[in-house]
Amino acid sequence: MKRIGFIYGLLFCLVLSVAAQGKVVKLKIVETSDVHGNYYPYNFITRHEWKGSLARIYSFVQKEREQYKENLILLDNGDILQGQPTAYYYNYIDTVSPHLCSEMMNFMKYDAGNMGNHDVETGRAVFDRWIATCDFPVLGANIIDTSTGKPHLAPYKVLERDGVKIVVLGMITPAIPAWLSENLWKGLRFDDMEETARKWMKIIREKENPDLVIGLFHAGQEAFKMSGKYNENASLNVAKNVPGFDIVLMGHDHARECKKVMNVAGDSVLIIDPASNGIVLSNVDVTLKPVSYTHLRAHETRHDLVCRLLLEKKKKSYLVCLLLLEKKKTKKHIP
Ligand SMILES: [Zn+2]
């Protein structure tokens, strides 16, 4: 297989209606996932310049911030603490200095992070320390503290941009016990994603009344029962079976994806996956158009109203294209 000589962003333009405001609001959602310690464009294992990296993503994000400013929302979907020796060094060798990963992510102004199975693999001492030094919440609605029965991390993050309320719900693949020994995640359990999403979607819609709901799931789309009991890659199932998500940002499977699916309520959901190592990023443009409150029926949330109007008028439209983020010639080909 030929090595791909380009760095792409998956660009998806999503047009939604919002009941709140009298003006059009444009947002850009950027997702990284499975960066695996690729903070710099240099592979410290092979000792060669390498593709992708947080550094290159930062260049892209800063360029986009010139236009979008605070309306650019930067999210990471986990598996960022393991891979390159740079991550290993700050995980296990120098455990006193600020962790390079949190330092870089804070500098880049991430709005939220998420836990991946390889982040759990570093052990509680490492990932709890990393989370404590992040200026943004690392989410985990289905990572439960067994002593309290409550989530160990924040289940979701609320963001407000230009009067638009955005909720990001974070979850991890629950198959952790199939891969990792319990001493690495002692005191925690990992609940089923679909059950957890159903529970939190009800709370989010009643308590937050959001305009846009984003699922940030460290799980792929090929549903598979790991060890006969853990639904490893439940992202697509959640997008389809739990109404309320507008966008589901996937990860974990290192497989590039960008498509829309129909959920059980008849509403479409964008699912997108940037694969790994910060070579590709998910780049979603969202345009929110105003809808009058006068259409609001009794017991109807803003999100319900928008979904109903969209279905009635069939106004929801999508445009998919690939954005060339950076062109980079490669000399070598991998057979
Ligand atoms: Zn990964």
Q: What is the pLDDT of residue 295?
A: 62
Q: CA angle 165-257-230, nearest 5°? A: 85
Q: How confident is the model at residue 14 (pLDDT cuts 50, 70, 90)?
A: low
Q: In 3D, which of 277, 296, 184, 203 has the Cα closest to residue 244?
A: 203
Q: For 192-206, what is each residue's pLDDT tens digit?
A: 999 999 999 999 999
Q: How far apart are CA 264 and CA 2, in angstroms?
A: 39
- In three-state secondary structure terms, 329 is coil
pLDDT above 50: residue 161: yes
CB contact at 8 A, 62 and 54:
no
CB contact at 8 A, 124 and 186:
yes
Q: 254 CA to middle of ligand 1, Å?
A: 6
Q: 76 CA to middle of ligand 1, Å?
A: 12
Q: 253 CA to middle of ligand 1, Å?
A: 7
Q: How far apart are CA 191 and CA 208, in angstroms?
A: 23
Q: What is the pLDDT of residue 289?
A: 73
Q: What is the DSSP letter of 112?
A: B
Q: What is the pLDDT of residue 267?
A: 86
Q: For 249-291, what is each residue's pLDDT tens digit?
A: 999 999 999 998 999 998 889 999 999 999 999 999 988 876 6
Q: 255 CA to middle of ligand 1, Å?
A: 10
* Helical residues (DSSP H) of the chain, grouped into ranges: 54-68, 85-88, 100-108, 117-120, 124-132, 176-179, 193-207, 235-241, 302-313
Q: In 3D, which of 114, 81, 116 has the Cα closest to residue 232?
A: 116
Where is pLDDT greater, at 15 or 124?
Answer: 124
Q: How far apart are CA 195 and CA 245, in angstroms?
A: 14
Q: 203 CA to middle of ligand 1, Å?
A: 30
Q: What is the DSSP string of 160-188?
A: EETTEEEEEEEEE-TTHHHHS-GGGSTTE
Q: 32 CA to middle of ligand 1, Å?
A: 11
pLDDT above 90: residue 140: yes
Q: Which residues, in sequence order, are bridge partners of residue 101? A: none
Where is pLDDT greater, at 13 or 256?
Answer: 256
Q: 28 CA to middle of ligand 1, Å?
A: 24
Q: 293 CA to middle of ligand 1, Å?
A: 43
Amino acid making up residue 10: L
Q: How far apart are CA 205 and CA 35, in angstroms?
A: 31
Q: 12 CA to middle of ligand 1, Å?
A: 23
Q: 291 CA to middle of ligand 1, Å?
A: 40
Q: 36 CA to middle of ligand 1, Å?
A: 6
Mean of the per-residue pLDDT values of the chain: 85
Task: Show Cβ contacts of residue 113 under 8 Å, excluding neighbours closer than 6 positions.
Answer: 75, 76, 78, 80, 105, 134, 136, 137, 138, 139, 170
Q: How far apart are CA 112 and CA 98, in angstroms?
A: 19
Q: 150 CA to middle of ligand 1, Å?
A: 26
